[in-house]
Amino acid sequence: MAIMGDSSVVSNNLIIGELVQRELIAQSKLLSTIMDVSSFAKAGLESIQFPKAGNFNVVKKASLTPVTTQALTYTTDQLDLDQQAVVRWSVEWKAALQSEVAVLQDAIGRASRAQAKQVDVDIYDELIAGATDLGNSGAATFRREDIVTLLTGLDNNDVPEDGRFLAINPAEKGAMLNISDFINAGDFGSDRIIQKGQIGEVFGVPVISSTVVLAGAPVMYHNEAAAIGFQKSPEFRQDQDMDNLADDYVLWQLYGLKSLLNSNAAITMTVAV
């Protein structure tokens, strides 16, 4: 007879943790749109520093005139690993035994989705905190002109065209569908990879619709506008609550976020919805 001991429980928890991590990645709409610096978040650190390079300037050489050597400077950004996100719940043995649904599996799925949404909430808040605010558009709805204004703002800051995203609340989706330059994701070819939450694109910029984006406060940004680093990927733990004849469960993760590029790579405005 096989007896499940402590090692089996640990192994099972690791498997669940891996499944939760996959669910987090699958459910999050904004996570893959910003920089991931998790490789720098080693154990034993309370914050991480990751490099940021400057740029070269092109000069025109005149005849018989030496070219000045340029120095490429590197600075570091510091990201504090201070976001300890936790979901904890308890299930009585009697309730689990008599339930018609698989209580634990259902709870893990719901906890995973809650963690994914919290990551998106934190990402949006960090983007807005570091974004340039253009103020109120003054229009009755989200318009093509507003999108052009956001694009122009990024262009004026020399933000690369590749890697841009527009995050909107579902309340702005109707207005987006009425913009002639908007391409619905349903019209993409079968070989096109569609971003989670992407409803289409406008002027080549993927449009992400999520309830974590405040209605009337869309944000257009580059993927280097913010960074996230996970020091602890989602971990599942369990213990027995003998006082209440129940099992106690925790799903937690530890990460940090930071807005980058001094507000140059993220722009927001207030629009009517």
pLDDT beyond 60 at 243 = yes
Torsion of CA 94, 97, 99, 100, to 10 degrees: -170
Euclidean distance between CA atoms 31 and 35, whole angstroms: 8
181 domain-assigned = yes
Residue 34 burial (CB count, 10 A): 25
pTM of the model: 0.84
Residue 58: inside a domain: no
CATH at 117: 3.90.1690
Say if residue 5's pLDDT is above 50.
no
pLDDT band at 4 (very low <50, low <70, confident <90, very high): very low
**Which residue range(s) make up the domain with 41?**
6-53+75-270
Whether pLDDT at 241 is above 90: yes
Give the mean pLDDT of the chain: 87
Determine, yes or no, domain membership for 60: no
Compare 64 and 263 and report the one with higher pLDDT.
Answer: 64
Tell me if 69 is assigned to some domain: no
| pLDDT (mean) for 61-81 | 88
Query: Which run of H or of E encompasses 162?
Result: none
What's the average model confidence in pLDDT over 177-195?
A: 72
**Does some domain include residue 145?**
yes
In a domain, 46, yes or no: yes
Q: How much of the chain, in percent, has pLDDT values that exceed 70? A: 88
Determine the pLDDT at residue 194.
64
Average pLDDT on 138-145 reads 87
Q: What is the pLDDT of residue 1?
A: 36
In the chain, how many domains are there? 1
Spatial contact of 269 and 152, defined as CB atoms under 8 Å apart: no
pLDDT band at 50 (very low <50, low <70, confident <90, very high): confident
Residue 67 falls inside a structural domain: no
* Within a domain: 253: yes
Q: How many CB atoms lie within 10 A of CB 231?
A: 22
